Homo-oligomer: A and B are copies of this chain.
Amino acid sequence: MEFKVIEIKQGVLSANDREADGLRRELREKKTFLLNLMSSPGSGKTSTLMQTIPRLTDSLRVGVMEADIDSDVDARTVSATGAQVIQLHTGGMCHLDAEMTRQGLNELDLDALDLVILENVGNLVCPAEFDTGAVKNAVILSVPEGDDKPLKYPLMFTVADVLLVNKIDAAACFDFDLELFTQRVHALRPGIPIFPISAKTGEGVEAWCNWLREQVQQWQES
């Protein structure tokens, strides 16, 4: 069967990058590490945070910015960890940019924080286009979403600095080829660390937390 491929073009904006670089400079002065956490809706960003934060708080002071179009369910959930939490409502916006991230950071006490995690809007497309000013981008892809996602959403995997493959506890229910997925990710972003985890059972979370701890330490010592 033949089919036709049609390219629809649009210009891409980017004066956001200067704002993001400025934000990173300020974060370096404060010795605060900002992690931008991105994924599709329902991949498990919040439940990953619920596993991650308690493992870090013995050595790091952690703050969280929960970005959502609406509701405050995630901020309610995460505030139970004792972390400083802010809910950002984007008013329909599909992503955060550096200026919006700054609005959130202004409400946190950065002098009292080593690590701030920005839970971006659940969206595998738009957030990839906007540098938030974060030091590193973490992307979660969950097993039920399928191993073909790097082919369809290449930019998200290209801007990622670390990748979590979540819901490995449900792997038996789905045909997810981790090796093929890893090949597809590494074709876009060679050598990027990939941590298979279950935010439900905690499996694999420690390795990811070790990576994150090291990143924060390097940032604070740089």
Contact = CB atoms under 8 A, between A and B. Distances in A.
Interface of A: 1-10, 12, 40-42, 68-76, 79-80, 82, 85-94, 100, 103-104, 107, 121-126, 129, 142, 144-146, 148-149, 151-155, 167, 169-170, 172-174
A220 to B, nearest CB: 25
A40 to B, nearest CB: 5
A190 to B, nearest CB: 18
Given A42-B146, A149-B41, A126 B8 contact: no
Contacts of A149: 41-42
Most buried by B among A2, A85, A148, A154: A148
Given A1-B79, A80-B1, A144-B170, A68 B104 contact: no
B152 A69 contact: yes
Given A69-B153, A82-B1, A174-B170, A12 B142 contact: no
A92 B124 CA distance: 11
Most buried by B among A68, A92, A148: A92
Q: How many copies does the complex hold?
A: 2
Nearest to A85: B3
Given A8-B88, A122-B152, A173-B173, 16 more contacts: A1-B80, A1-B85, A3-B86, A4-B107, A8-B100, A10-B92, A10-B93, A12-B92, A69-B152, A69-B153, A70-B153, A71-B148, A92-B129, A94-B125, A142-B144, A144-B170
A159 to B, nearest CB: 12
Contacts of A9: 91
14 contacts: A1-B79, A1-B80, A5-B72, A40-B42, A42-B142, A69-B125, A70-B153, A71-B151, A71-B152, A94-B126, A122-B124, A144-B167, A144-B170, A170-B174
A65 to B, nearest CB: 9
Nearest to A144: B144
